[in-house]
Structure 1
Amino acid sequence: MKSILITIYLFTLVITASFGQILKPVQWNFSSKKLDDKTYEIHLTASIGPGWHIYSQFTPKGGPVPTTVTFNKNAAILSLGKPQEAGKLQQKMEKAFDMEVKYFADKVDFVQVVKIKTQTPQNFSGTIEYMVCNEKQCLPPAEEDFTLTLR
């Protein structure tokens, strides 16, 4: 009787754990590359799980949530232009939004060039907001915060 109760308990635990899994199909890596004495490339790199995709920054209104990069203000750092997208940009008609959408699968790198105005190390921080979808579902928009020290 005791072994039956233990078996039922373990079975229930396994079932409960499988329903409680959180989907996180995108893993982020944040890095910087020094180009010269005061200029850096900031890399916000998404590794996207099989079957999933995230949308371009340049998604039209009325469609899915576009990827948005927001940088926190730092008077000692100047952003040069807007973040550029490096990856295999794909396009398709998305019935759910009744429009052509642009997205990335597998991997995408959002690259921002910045210049520091001082000789001292500076923290460059911000948030990237994105929405990830597959053929069956879209997850709610998510945010990832990042901080990089530029030396």
Structure 2
Amino acid sequence: MSVLRLAPLAGLVTILVAGPASAQIESPVKWTFTARKVNAATYEVHMTATVDGGWRLYAQQAGEGPTPTRFTLKTSPQVALKGSVMEVGRPIVAQDTAFNTRLKYYQNQVDFVQKVTVKGKAPAALKGSVEFMVADDHQALPPKALDFKVALK
């Protein structure tokens, strides 16, 4: 009789344990954040997206529809931005099946580069976040945001 009372409880435990594993959100983009010293006071900060096969990462100026890739960079008295974020990669401008319009996007990999100048000798870092959206031929995933910090040394 006690076994019968535990049977529904065992099913609930199975659902609770298995539920989160099957509800994982896909993450078809991997980000890396690095800095390259150009001269004594100037750095290039590289924010590189590696995109899984079949997926598209929308450009900063993607067009109407998806959330474009956006960087929010936090300046400080020690770190100043030089210009805007540049896209280094092979952009594709084509009809997008997820949004049924012509859009600009990247596949495989794209490097977003921001030049910064550093004042003084103290250790410095560039902090920021990136908001981005991806799609494949069958679905568009909701926008994601990711915080980052890059040491400038």
Unaligned runs of at least 5 residues, structure 2: 1-6
In structure 1, C-alpha distance between the alignment counterparts of 2:150 and 2:97, rounded to whole Å: 39
State the Cα distance separating 1:94 from its structure 2 match: 2.5
Which residue is equivalent to 2:91?
Answer: 89
User: Is the contact made by 2:98 and 2:138 (CA closer than 8 Å) also made in structure 1?
Assistant: no
User: Shift of residue 22 of structure 1?
Assistant: 2.4
Partners of 2:52 and 2:98 in 1: CA distance? 21
C-alpha distance 40-98 of structure 1, shift in aligned 2 (>3 A): same
- Offset from partner CA, 1:22-79 (integer Å, 9 cap, x none): 211111100000011110000000111111111010123x321100011013121111
Cα RMSD for the two superposed structures? 2.1
Query: Deviation of residue 21 (structure 1)?
Result: 2.9
Alignment-derived partner of residue 29 in structure 1 = 32
1:99 pairs with 2:101: yes
Alpha-carbon distance in 1 for matches of 2:112, 2:87: 5
Name the structure 2 match of 1:116: 118
Q: What residue number does 1:47 align with?
A: 50
Offset at residue 19 of structure 1 (A): 2.6
Instruction: String of CA shifts for 1:120-151, please: whole Å, max 9, x gaps.
Output: 11121000100010000011100111101212
Cα distance change, pair 18–124 in 1 and its aligned pair in 2 (3 A): closer
Given that 2:97 and 2:137 are in contact with CA atoms closer than 8 Å, whether structure 1 keeps it comes out as: no
Q: Which amino acid letter does the alignment assign opposite residue 114 of structure 2?
A: Q
In structure 2, relative to structure 1, the CA distance for the partners of 1:16 and 1:150 (3 Å cut) is same
**SS class of match (2:139):** coil
Q: Could you tell me the percent identity over the aligned residues?
A: 35
Name the TM-score, length of structure 2 as normaliser: 0.83
Please tell me the residue identity of whatever aligns with 2:62. Answer: T
Amino acid at match of 2:37: K
Q: Please, which runs of 5 or more residues in structure 1 have no aligned partner?
A: none
Question: How many residues of Structure 1 are paired with residues of Structure 2 in the alignment?
Answer: 143
